[in-house]
């Protein structure tokens, strides 16, 4: 994916949330979840790869590790995925209920 700016129509954002700021908060929280999932998946893949012996003190390039890293770099960034999911109404969100004292 190239490094380019993708404008978002604010009217589409307002259709999903009552205001733009709420939509940004929802998208940012979803992006954190996506990022955490990606990090967990990446670490799982790295741990499953064959690791050289600890006797070697010099760093050696591991082609499998490099391939996994490149694969994760090609994925869309978490904030773009989150905003896409929000605009396509694939993200559910609600307000926390506050207790009212009587």
What is the tens place of the pLDDT at every residue in 17-73? 888 999 999 999 999 999 999 999 999 988 887 665 555 555 677 888 888 889 999
pLDDT value at residue 69: 87
pLDDT value at residue 52: 56
pLDDT value at residue 56: 54
Helices 20-48 and 78-87, axial angle in degrees (round to 10): 130
Q: Which residue has the tokens 């990090």?
A: 39
**10-to-24, 43, 61 alpha-carbon distances in Å:** 11, 36, 45
pLDDT value at residue 82: 94
Q: What is the pTM of this model?
A: 0.76
How is residue 74 annotated by DSSP?
H
């Amino acid at each position: 994916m190239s490094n380019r700016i993708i404008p978002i129509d604010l009217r589409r954002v307002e259709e999903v949330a009552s205001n733009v700021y709420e939509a940004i908060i929802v998208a940012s929280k979803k992006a954190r979840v996506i990022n955490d999932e990606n990090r967990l998946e990446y670490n799982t893949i790295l741990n499953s790869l064959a690791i050289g012996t600890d006797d070697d003190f010099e760093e050696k390039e591991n082609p499998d590790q490099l391939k996994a890293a490149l694969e994760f770099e090609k994925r869309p960034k978490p904030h773009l995925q989150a905003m896409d999911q929000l605009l396509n109404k694939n993200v559910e969100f609600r307000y926390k209920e506050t207790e009212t004292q009587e």
